[in-house]
Structure 1
Amino acid sequence: MSVPAAGCLIFAFAVLPTAAAPRIAPESCQASALREERLASVSPRGELALTSGARTILDGIHWPETEPEATQAAAHLAGLWGRGLAISQRGEVDRWGRARIDAVAEPVLETDEPADLATGLVAVGLAHADAGESDVFCRTDLIKLEAEPRRDRRGIWREPVLAAGDGPALATHAGTFIIAEGRIVGVGERAERTYLDFARHAADGLTVTVTKRTWRIMRERGLTAATLRGRLARVRGRLEVRRGPILEIVSADMIEVLEGERALTR
């Protein structure tokens, strides 16, 4: 192992988000031992090919679905080609054979610090924090990093956050990853699902469905039907349209109750 790469691995222990895991880190958040890699290429959809032949994606982010942000995100990571990476894998490979990884690039200068790839993308507004299909979000640190680019309307935040109470506007985004804000006007608890309504009628606004397990976790955090009604919330995920726009929350961290924060919707 080269001296710079060895230093990358050493410093990465201080940079990789071990403290960012949920309150009690489940097995799916336990990262593998660090290993040295190098970046070979970045696909337009955010797949990182490593020189070892491994196909990977960064854990905890949603790659931009819009242009020019997707191209900019790929260019941002392309600047790391040839630099040593300290990576660790979380969980098993996905259905496409890709490993979810945390990755830290070695410093260019001795005075530099190692750069966490996911952190860098989110901080400049070129990726959203996202749990994906997992019901556990291991990179909760990334959500706070969205605040600055969202405030400055940079990158993927250049357009206002969608209004959760505007059903017709939401419907035009069917099939895409969205972030929406609005006030929860109703909460319906059922045996297998809980429904968070952002409008009185399904077609008029967003309905968020919460799985039984996730609702239990939310209640443990103090987010009950009584405490959520009337609250301003931000939600994220892939939007579907049935009777109206609907979004399923699998991870409890994909809904944020906003305290003292101004809504960014139109």
Structure 2
Amino acid sequence: MGGITGWERQRSAAAARVVRAAVRAVVLTASLAATPGVLPVRAAPRTSLSECIAGPARVEVIAGIGPRGEIRLASGVRAVPDSLRWPDAPEAASAAQAWLEARLGARVTMIPRGQPDRWDRVRADLLIAEGEEDLAGGLIGAGLAVADANEADSLCRPALRLVEAAARARRLGLWRAPLPGAQDGPALRAKAGHFVVVEGRIRHIGERGARTYLDFAARGTDGLTVTVSKRTWRMMRARGLSAASLEDRRVRVRGLLEVRRGPTLEAAVDGIEVLDEADRPEAGPDRERELRR
């Protein structure tokens, strides 16, 4: 096999610069959020600002690493990096655990966000005091975790999706294998019970009273269906997404995969990303009614 070409080295260096720049953007956003009188930049309006409000920053020391990315601080506080989903795959989870354990004893600036989670752990931005490393950005940038809102309505740190995209482009960690296709029913069924990121084109949208259904495969074939609750669909529409603007669009979706009649996942507000085509204007009421079938 031949050696690495100059072009490949340039491409690798450019990708690395993208990751570093994205992480710096994440750190800057977190720093601004903690600065009195400066509002954090957000990608879209939120319905529950309390989930993302940044509290006062304070310096802590990492004293231990618990299960699934729990950070135990010397003060006794238990924290988890905000806007990060811990990996399900054992190999990736072990690598992520080792990545965090390498930072034991480090001084961090902790910026709490919103209310503690159901296990009374503080959701926080955690920035290594010496340097510009951000724990969530570092894990996601290494391909060891996914940017996700978890139990919150919206992603508080949307810049982390840029970090994730750079890791995916370089096929790091979780992204070494191609994403499963939304029309590949058998591959999706094999991931039942796990959090997945899937890409595909929406073939049909059906709006019902309680839920909206996004079908990625033709009727009678084995493929993904994404369900969206009435409340979440209303929030998506406030952001400019609708049946008319999404049908026949290629998207990336994420969520916990279940198998009912076929592979299904429930999408959160930030769980659908449009991948191609310039944003189209909203369709008129006639087109909207046509799609609500």
Larger radius of gyration: 2
Distance (whole Å) between structure 2 residues aligned to residue 13 and residue 197 of structure 1:
37
Specify which structure has the higher proportion of strand: 1
- The 8 Å contact of residues 61 and 118 in structure 1, kept in 2 or not, is answered as yes
User: Which residue does the alignment assign to 2:23?
Assistant: none
Q: Secondary structure of 1:45's partner?
A: helix
Aligned length: 244
- Deviation string for 1:60-119 (max 9, x for gaps)? 011111132212212212222212111121222222222211111111xxxxx3211111
Q: Secondary structure of 2:69's partner?
A: coil
- The 8 Å contact of residues 202 and 243 in structure 1, kept in 2 or not, is answered as no
Unaligned runs of 5+ in 2: 1-25, 34-39, 278-293
Normalising by structure 2, what TM-score?
0.78
Distance (whole Å) between structure 1 residues aligned to residue 234 and residue 246 of structure 2:
14
User: Which residue does the alignment assign to 1:127?
Assistant: 145
- The 8 Å contact of residues 202 and 245 in structure 1, kept in 2 or not, is answered as no
- The 8 Å contact of residues 15 and 104 in structure 1, kept in 2 or not, is answered as no
Distance (whole Å) between structure 2 residues aligned to residue 14 and residue 215 of structure 1:
31
- Deviation string for 1:205-227 (max 9, x for gaps)? 11111122221222233221112
Q: Secondary structure of 1:256's partner?
A: strand
User: Which residue does the alignment assign to 1:4?
Assistant: none
Is residue 2:249 matched to residue 1:218? no
Deviation at 1:22, TM superposition (A): 4.5
Aligned match of 2:96 in 73, 79, 93? 73
- Gap change, CA 1:104 and 1:130, over 3 Å in 2: same
Percent of matched pairs sharing the same residue:
47
User: Which residue does the alignment assign to 1:208?
Assistant: 226
Normalising by structure 1, what TM-score?
0.85
RMSD value, Cα: 2.1
Aligned match of 1:196 in 214, 217, 227? 214
Structure 1 counterpart of 2:261, one-letter code = R
Unaligned runs of 5+ in 1: 1-11, 108-112, 261-266
User: Which residue does the alignment assign to 2:44?
Assistant: 23
Q: Secondary structure of 1:143's partner?
A: helix
User: Which residue does the alignment assign to 1:104?
Assistant: 127
- Gap change, CA 1:14 and 1:224, over 3 Å in 2: closer
Q: Secondary structure of 1:68's partner?
A: helix
Q: Secondary structure of 1:146's partner?
A: helix
Deviation at 1:202, TM superposition (A): 7.0
Distance (whole Å) between structure 2 residues aligned to residue 13 and residue 129 of structure 1:
15
Distance (whole Å) between structure 2 residues aligned to residue 168 and residue 140 of structure 1:
32
User: Which residue does the alignment assign to 1:259?
Assistant: 276
